[in-house]
Amino acid sequence: MTDLLVNGDHEQAVEALRRSYAAIPEGQPIRLAKRTSNLFRWRDPSDAPGLDVSGFDRVLSVDPDTRTAQVQGMTTYEDLVDATLPHGLMPTVVPQLKTITLGGAVTGLGIESTSFRLGLPHEGVRELEILTGDGQVVVATRDNEHSDLFYGFPNSYGTLGYSLRLKIDLVPVKPYVKLRHLRFADADALSRAMDELVASGVHEGETVDFLDGTVFSADEQYLTLGFFTDEAPYTSDYTGQNIYYRSIQQRSVDFLTVRDYIWRWDTDWFWCSGAFGVQNPLVRRVWPDRAKRSDVYRKLVAYDRRYQVIARIERWRGLRPREDVIQDIEVPVGRLPEFLDFFHAKVGMAPIWLCPLRARENWPLYPLEPGRTYVNAGFWGTVRLPPGQIPEYHNRLIEREVAALDGHKSLYSTAFYSRDEFWRHYDGETYQRLKAGYDPGKRLLDLYDKCVRGR
């Protein structure tokens, strides 16, 4: 085992946090003081001091023999991957963006191209140390006295407590990943191929280690298959002038180092860097490589959101306002063509990211049927509002369509459900039971208030 932090230091940090939590007056909002965020639920800045969790951002240990790691909750996946790759290991699922934290991906869900065989990040967790809403620190596992909290923690978004330490599974990697980009002319063919690949895990005799997809238009869609390999005839670099998502259209086969594969989407925030001109070759040459990162772009969006720079310019030009359409949803694989048809007709934004997944267990607050294949569709951008429509017009359409297709919607961004609708989708009965058990004083926000009302 490689110890990267003395456990006594972690215990001291836990005790300091408990004292800090207890010192916050009753009735005062409790929020984390975080340097970065990957949420798109905007709220007005608060004068209330945040709970200082800066002492929980490290990898405690990596054990190559048991293929596990002990990790503090505020550790970013960038730091976690840097700690595990030297051992030839990676977390079971590594969300796409470097500054997503392990605790954030577990309490707020995450996904990536290993999800078709390994589920979601929380399914690779063995043990959770949690500061609960009543100020206690408990350790929850699948089969101890806090197993209800273990299974109810995913999709609770910090409203039941905060993860301080997690013991997670790791999986072996090889130095390189070979990519195959398969083009499909329609969503029906793509969905059938995806369903078969998830079921078999094999393509032309090779075990598929990674699987995701990209939709550029109704008649240009791709599945990208990744295969671990010990050797590569060359490796492509998409951290500088070249752009990864464009390579999907330009190459049928490609090779990346395993680290570059893991972070292939971060350099251009999938394709959203184009909003800042970073995909313009002239701008790209002068934009520092160290600033080609999702967290840099997120800060630029936050600045514009606060000062309304683009909106003011567009109003001055007489243009109709734009609506932010930034969402991830899941629908059963057989309903994906219907969703894409709807999306092309009613929203009209591209590209769209696709990621198949199968939950391995039942997680009540995000109730996916174990063993059933779903497809995550991610779309992030802005769309002009039709004349006379309300500001959230497209987002409400998407919510209704996803529900009609027996799907689910992630809660990291805006949501507009009524309270009754929300709790039907996210198992209100289980949530309220957990809230009463672990936050009886309601010191932390309610999940509906936090994710829909934006409090």
Report the pLDDT value the prediction gives residue 236, as an integer from 0 to 100: 98
Asked if residue 412 and residue 320 are part of one domain, the reply reads: yes
Q: In this structure, is residue 297 part of a structural domain?
A: no
Residue 393 belongs to some domain of the structure: yes
d(CA 279, CA 299): 18
| The pLDDT of residue 430 is above 80 | yes
Q: Are residues 33 and 132 in the same domain?
A: yes
CATH number of the domain where residue 52 is located: 3.30.465.10
Same domain, 65 and 97: yes
The answer, yes or no, to whether residue 37 has pLDDT greater than 80, is no
- Domain assignment present for 259: no
Which pLDDT value is given to residue 52? 82
106/151 same-domain check: yes
Based on the domain organization, do 441 and 331 belong to the same domain?
no
Query: What confidence score (pLDDT) does residue 320 get?
Result: 84
Domain that holds residue 98: 2-173+435-445
Is-contact 33 91, C-beta < 8 A? no
CATH number (domain holding residue 398):
3.30.70
For the cut 70, the answer to whether the pLDDT of residue 45 exceeds it is no
**232-290: per-residue pLDDT in tens?**
999 999 999 999 999 999 999 999 999 999 999 999 999 999 999 999 999 999 999 99
In a domain? residue 266: no
**Among 7-16, 17-26, 34-43, 186-195, the range of highest mean pLDDT:** 186-195
28 and 143 share one domain: yes
Least confident stretch, 66-70, 225-229, 422-426, 451-455: 451-455
Is 20 found in the same domain as 116? yes
Count of domains for the chain? 2
One domain, residues 326 and 406: yes
Do 352 and 441 lie in one domain? The reply is no
Q: Report pLDDT for 190.
A: 98
Q: Is residue 63 part of a domain?
A: yes
Q: Which residues contact 125 (CB under 8 A, 6 or more apart)?
A: 106, 166, 167, 168, 169
Domain match, 393 and 440 both: no
380 with 439, same domain? no
